[in-house]
């Protein structure tokens, strides 16, 4: 998997920047290491949860303002944890045959119905309390 070249903006230099390219690279990465045996949906969901916790850890004890003004080093570390979450989510979705983009669009439509602009604008209330 030597073609894992990514420029600084995160766009694959070999011609793609979508989830399909990333998914295929993840498949190859795992296959080369004989890791498929460990990549069950349960294990992937658990690993994603651990990585999400590691992401949250970077913000623990920061004020709201401090969380908005991370140092470059802190942003880089946060980016790696966010990438870990994304990679595990993508692998989980792949294992379960979930089209993440389609699911995200559907979820946004559902949220738009649950949170109409006229009743939810400017409030953090849950849809059941609107």
Phi and psi angles of residue 116, each rounded to the nearest 5 degrees, phi first: -60, 145
pLDDT band at 4 (very low <50, low <70, confident <90, very high): very low
Residue 69 DSSP code: S
pLDDT tens sequence across 16-51: 558 999 999 999 999 999 999 999 999 999 999 999
58-92: buried (b, 16+ CB within 10 Å) or exposed (e) per residue? beeeeeeeeeeebeeeeeebbeebbebbebbbbbb
Provide DSSP, 13-48. Answer: TTS--SHHHHHHHHHHHHHHTT-GGG--HHHHHHHH
Helix (H/G/I), strand (E/B), else coil: 124: coil
Task: Give the per-residue pLDDT at 13.
Answer: 52
């Amino acid at each position: 998997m030597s073609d894992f070249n990514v420029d600084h903006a995160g766009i694959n230099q070999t011609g793609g920047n979508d989830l399909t390219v990333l998914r295929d690279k993840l498949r190859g990465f795992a296959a080369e290491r004989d890791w498929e045996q460990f990549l069950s949906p349960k294990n992937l969901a658990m690993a994603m949860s651990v990585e999400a916790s590691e992401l949250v850890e970077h913000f623990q004890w920061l004020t709201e303002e401090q969380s908005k003004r991370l140092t470059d080093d802190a942003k880089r570390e946060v980016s790696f944890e966010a990438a870990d979450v994304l990679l595990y989510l993508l692998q989980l979705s792949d294992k379960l045959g979930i089209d993440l983009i389609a699911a995200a669009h559907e979820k946004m439509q559902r949220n738009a119905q649950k949170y109409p602009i006229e009743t939810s604008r400017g409030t953090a209330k849950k849809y059941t309390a609107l």
